[in-house]
Structures are given as C-alpha cells and as structure tokens.
Amino acid sequence: MNNLLRLEEGGARIVTDDPWVLVRDVEGELPDGSVILPLSRWLQAPAQHAVWLGPDDEVESLKPWFDALPLIALDFPSFRDGRGYSQAYLLRTRLGWTGELRAVGDVLRDQLSHMRQCGFDSFAVREDKSAEDALKGLAGMSVLYGRSVIEPRPLFRRR
C-alpha cells in the first residue's frame, strides 16, 4: 500500500516499500504478491493471506488464526464510524494480537492519535491526503485521562 505510516522503534515513519495490496472485491482474480482480503474471502483459505475486517465483522473470529496471520487490517468506511476503535481494543487487549494492526479506509490526520492509542501501529492514510502531513497527527495530546491500549492505566494511577 502507498501512503502508509508505521510506528517503529524510535518513532513513526513513512513507508515506501510496503508489499501489501488491499483487495476489496469478494471475488475475481487476485493480484500477485501479498494481499489483504475481506474476511469472507479470506476464510476460504485462511493462513495464506492477510485479512481486513469491516466494522460489522466479529474480531473474535480471527483468534484461532493468530499464529499464521501476518497482518490484520480494520476498515474505516467513514472516519466518523468509530467501531474500529473498539475492535482494535478487543484485538489487542482481550484477544492478545501482537502483530501488525493496520487502519485502512477513511484514515485521516485528525483521528490518527486516537487510532494509535487504541493499538493500531500502521495507518494507510487516504490516498488523496499527504502522508507527510498526516504524520503530524500521530502524537495527539500529551495527556490522556482515561486509559487506552497503549496506556492501560488511567491517569489517576499515574498522577
């Protein structure tokens, strides 16, 4: 994918050599190389490819395949649809997914810090937006009152 940001040791960077291709079609020919498939299609031959989930998909269904899965992507059909945040929380905290968790779809600068706090570590910024510009949105605020995936202790336990 192009226009990708990834969190790595020492900070975030723009990735220019990402091998993954996001496939939205549920049927038809697959492109060569590494593909991220919609859940229904991926289930036909799990363990071969990466998968992306829509906000209606149950994250629990992926649990048996964690060892074989190279990457999980969560789709934001609209940046105003917040289900992906809870899906990310569940994948990271309850189900114990430690591999790459990528935000795809309507991924924009002003929501990146929330996504990061909910456990996403790569962000496929919407194609018409500048990844360089979006990078500025990753940090967010220095204060988090509640808790999140990356800071499970609420502020009152850190104050």
Interacting residues toward another protein by CB under 8 A: 79-83, 85-87, 89, 94, 108, 110-111, 113-115, 117-118, 141-148, 152-157, 159
Give the residue with the Cβ less far from another protein, 19 or 152. Answer: 152
Task: Give the other-Cβ count within 10 Å of 98's Cβ.
Answer: 10
Nearer CB in complex with another protein: 46/113: 113
Cβ contact 77:55 at 8 Å: yes
CB of residue 150 to another protein, shortest distance in Å:
10
Q: Which is nearer to another protein, 20 or 97 (CB)?
A: 97
Burial of 79 (0-12, 13-18, 19+ CB in 10 A): middle
Residue 55: CB minimum distance to another protein, A: 8
* Residue placing its CB nearer to another protein in the complex, 14 or 144: 144
The Cα 20–Cα 103 span in angstroms is 13
Instruction: Tell me how far, at minimum, the Cβ of 129 lies from another protein, in Å.
Output: 9
Chain position carrying tokens 């490819």: 49
Amino acid in the structure at residue 56: D
Q: How big is the CA angle at 103 (ends 58 and 88), to the nearest 5 degrees?
A: 45
CB of 12 to another protein, least distance (A): 17
